[in-house]
Chain A
């Protein structure tokens, strides 16, 4: 097999793997939301409600506050 033929096979396989990986990720994102395991869209509020004393969307148990306690 020449290097040209090998590169063609690798491109086809590589493109296929890329398509599968990214579509799987899309399916994973939507499916986990549909099952109620995740709510990705709530994270969009992090930018809007960004006062230092406002309630976090998800509190970090290891935050600086905990360390001070």
Chain B
């Protein structure tokens, strides 16, 4: 490290996003535990009037974990790793630093506005796009600022080649920008109707089936460009760096990248199988969903092979455990998703508990594990302190792994049972079961889900404590660790 202070990486923005990752993680997942418990014990819906009902809390849960916890974690990864792979410090440009702070504070305002407005029941009612138009405009500004910072860093870089993680960050920026703008085309009702309704209300610019198709083009690609693409960017940097092993095949990473970019955008229609959208759209979405296995597994296998000859690290480094299990869960959920997108399977799976089961083995096992690994790998470099407790990290890993398994296995069984019961007919063609019959059968599985969610949340609290203690009380480091993160 050079003595010149300007020649050090600047982690000021990284630190800010680290804290929002932890705080939004706790808020979002606590609400998740509450709503999982409400499904198992419905009387819990009435503990806080309208503000405590499942319908009010569910969008807050999804939005806070996706746009609070995950996006903060992704920004931690970006502001940390982009500087390093481009070999340029944020501190070398006052403009970029100013824009970085501005982006963070606008993000805080938007996130607070999201929680407050959804808590009050103000929503567009489009899933994962519930924010009303004033917040949408703010999100666009935040995203544009991110783009300016990203391309500003790229323009200043000392390393000519863009490392594969940067490709994925750029794709995240462009993909979300395009999809967000198209899906949130909305008409503010009061401004354009001569004063009808509240000033913040809007209606979608699209109607009926078209609205559904655009919505799920966005909805699924939010999975693509928030849950997948930027998380691959994280693992392509953090797993090689933590293990000291270069990515197994750089060529495979390039091929997987283009495969993912080309195929993912066509798969959104699988959310609308057996609905009123044209049959060819459903078939196309189904086919592209199945093909999507190839680039997804290309990245995941590339990550696992990166550990070739170094599997001993899996036993004694909990961060490697998190990342290897993350890529394994990525493989699981990218096989499960295409299976659910096959039309005949979807006839059973659609609207059942198997769907949240699928989502959660992806987000809890893949996304959140990578976010934990990202924060904990960065913490010793950012705070110049050793990780506070290795044993706490190990315990967190095992508790959360058991939690994810409880979550998705219970939802697999519940979902398939539910789908079969809904379809079952007697010899005269009458439905055999009423809705409440399915509720009675599924109740034990909903209890198991609530237990799994609670265990995961306990693991998150352990992580938050470990992270807080690392930042404030970890043993001070004289030199920056090159690969493996030091931990007590």
Contact = CB atoms under 8 A, between A and B. Distances in A.
A63 B88 contact: yes
Given A3-B280, A22-B255, A46 B159 contact: yes
Interface string B141-172: 00000000000000111111101110000000
A40 B254 CA distance: 9
Contact of B160 (A11, A29, A56): A56
A11 B164 contact: no
A59 B92 contact: no
A68 B87 CA distance: 16
B96 to A, nearest CB: 11
A27 to B, nearest CB: 11
Given A7-B280, A52-B87, A53-B2, A60 B254 contact: no
Interface string B67-106: 0000000000000010111011100110000000000000
Interface stretch (B129-137, B236-244, B393-401, B434-442): B236-244
B258 A60 contact: no
Given A7-B280, A47-B85, A63 B157 contact: yes
Contact of B287 (A11, A59, A61): A11
A5 to B, nearest CB: 11
A57 B159 contact: yes
Interface residues of A, number: 35
B88 A29 contact: no
Nearest to B244: A48
A69 interface: no
> Size class of B's contact patch?
35 or more
B484 interface: no
**Interface hub of A4, A40, A43 (most chain B Cβ within 10 A):** A43
A23 to B, nearest CB: 10
B85 to A, nearest CB: 5
Nearest to B236: A47
Nearest to A42: B250
Contacts of B236: 47
Contacts of B89: 52
A29 B255 contact: yes
Interface string B262-291: 100000000000000000100110010001
A64 B88 contact: yes
B249 A41 contact: yes
Given A3-B280, A26-B255, A48 B241 contact: yes
A52 to B, nearest CB: 6
B7 interface: yes
B247 interface: yes
A61 B159 CA distance: 9
Given A3-B280, A7-B280, A56-B159, A48 B88 contact: no
B1 interface: yes
Contacts of B336: none
Nearest to A56: B159
Given A30-B251, A51-B1, 15 more contacts: A7-B280, A22-B258, A43-B163, A45-B246, A46-B161, A47-B81, A47-B163, A47-B241, A48-B240, A48-B483, A59-B158, A59-B159, A63-B157, A64-B88, A64-B93
Q: Which 6 pairs show the lowest CB-CB distances between chains A and B?
A: A44-B246, A50-B84, A60-B160, A58-B160, A64-B156, A56-B159
